[in-house]
């Protein structure tokens, strides 16, 4: 499953990123890149700054009062801090949050929400998008006969797939997942991992995961974050080998710490 060295060009480039909540610095000048078509796994214990890092990419950090970012992030060469169309940036980067956060809407309306907000009203077009996204999220067969049911009536694993379908509805170029498996069972987790394997053909994926073995199964490259720093970023087989670049990586992935 680990492919050769990803050769895609840089899609996201992060340089000297610092994040503060008020006076407190929680990300201490990290740099890394995400390459087109890869799955970049991000591992690290709680509080390492993984979620804060993701929020910088699509500028949702600014929803947190008192939070600030410094440094440079470019997405497709465009500086996210200077981008004029921040909604366009957020459409380009789909985000799947740790817990299912289905809107209190029907299954159909959950997926149609973003396209409608972007001005699409033609029913046939919306039907197409809803079906495509639910299929991509491997949920279509389970819900196609009850699209008018509330999304909140679905099981946890189904809601998480609905969240993925929603993230896909604005046709993102990059899909970011933040610990998607934290509240779902192993069988559903494997199911969604299969979905990600399919999606990688068409998309760049940034997979923040609480399961180190999930990065090992899926990621082309893996980044290890600890206390607001990037300890290591390398090919997944190197990160999980007996001799990664940093001894702290070995301690973490082999379960000695964290």
Ligand X SMILES: Nc1ncnc2c1ncn2[C@@H]1O[C@H](COP(=O)(O)OP(=O)(O)O)[C@@H](O)[C@H]1O
Please give the residue ranges that form the binding site for ligand X (CB under 6 A): 21, 26, 44, 46-52, 64
Residue number closest to Mg ion, CB atom: 51
Q: How far apart are CA 253 and CA 243, in angstroms?
A: 11
Q: By CB neighbour count within 10 A (0-12 exposed, 13-18 middle, 19+ buried), where does 83 fall?
A: middle
Q: How far apart are CA 184 and CA 41, in angstroms?
A: 19
106 and 126 Cβ atoms separated by less than 8 Å: no
For ligand X, the closer of residues 205 and 208 by Cβ is 208
Distance set, CA 175 to CA 152, 162, 169, 172, 186 (Å): 23, 14, 11, 6, 21
31 binds, among Mg ion, ligand X, none (CB under 5 to 8 A by kind): none
For Mg ion, the closer of residues 3 and 51 by Cβ is 51
Only segment of 49-57, 69-77, 87-95, 131-139 that touches Mg ion (CB under 5 A): 49-57
Q: Which residues pair with 232 in a beta bridge?
A: 224
For ligand X, the closer of residues 44 and 157 by Cβ is 44
Only segment of 48-56, 61-69, 80-88, 169-177 that touches Mg ion (CB under 5 A): 48-56
For ligand X, the closer of residues 43 and 154 by Cβ is 43
172 binds, among Mg ion, ligand X, none (CB under 5 to 8 A by kind): none
Interface with Mg ion, residue 51, by CB under 5 A: yes
Cα 89–chain centre separation: 14
| Closest approach of ligand X to the CB of residue 29, in Å | 15
152 binds, among Mg ion, ligand X, none (CB under 5 to 8 A by kind): none
Tell me phi and psi for residue 158, to 5 degrees: -70, -40
Q: How far apart are CA 225 and CA 45, in angstroms?
A: 8
Which residues here bind Mg ion, judged by CB under 5 A? 50-51
């Amino acid at each position: 499953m680990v492919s050769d060295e990803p050769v895609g060009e840089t899609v996201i480039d992060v340089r000297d990123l610092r994040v503060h909540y008020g006076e407190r610095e929680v990300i201490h000048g990290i740099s890394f890149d995400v390459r087109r078509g890869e799955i970049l796994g991000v591992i690290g214990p709680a509080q390492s700054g993984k979620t804060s890092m993701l929020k910088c990419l699509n500028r949702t950090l600014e929803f947190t009062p008192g939070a600030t970012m410094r440094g440079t992030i470019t997405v497709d060469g465009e500086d996210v801090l200077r981008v004029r169309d921040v909604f366009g940036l957020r459409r380009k980067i789909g985000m799947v949050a740790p817990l299912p956060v289905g809107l209190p809407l029907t299954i159909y309306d959950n997926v149609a929400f973003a396209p409608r907000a972007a001005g699409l009203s033609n029913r046939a077009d919306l039907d197409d998008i809803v079906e495509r996204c639910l299929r991509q999220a491997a949920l279509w067969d389970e819900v196609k006969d009850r699209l008018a049911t509330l999304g909140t009536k679905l099981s946890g694993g189904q809601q998480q797939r609905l969240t993925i379908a929603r993230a896909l509805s604005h046709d993102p170029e990059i899909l970011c997942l933040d610990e998607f498996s934290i509240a779902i069972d192993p069988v559903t987790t494997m199911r969604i991992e299969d979905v990600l394997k399919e999606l990688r053909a068409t998309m760049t994926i940034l997979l923040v995961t609480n399961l180190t073995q999930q990065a090992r199964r899926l990621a082309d490259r893996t980044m290890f974050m600890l206390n607001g720093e990037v300890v290591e970023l390398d090919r997944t087989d190197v990160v999980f080998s007996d001799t990664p670049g940093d001894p702290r990586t070995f301690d973490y992935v082999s379960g000695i710490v964290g």
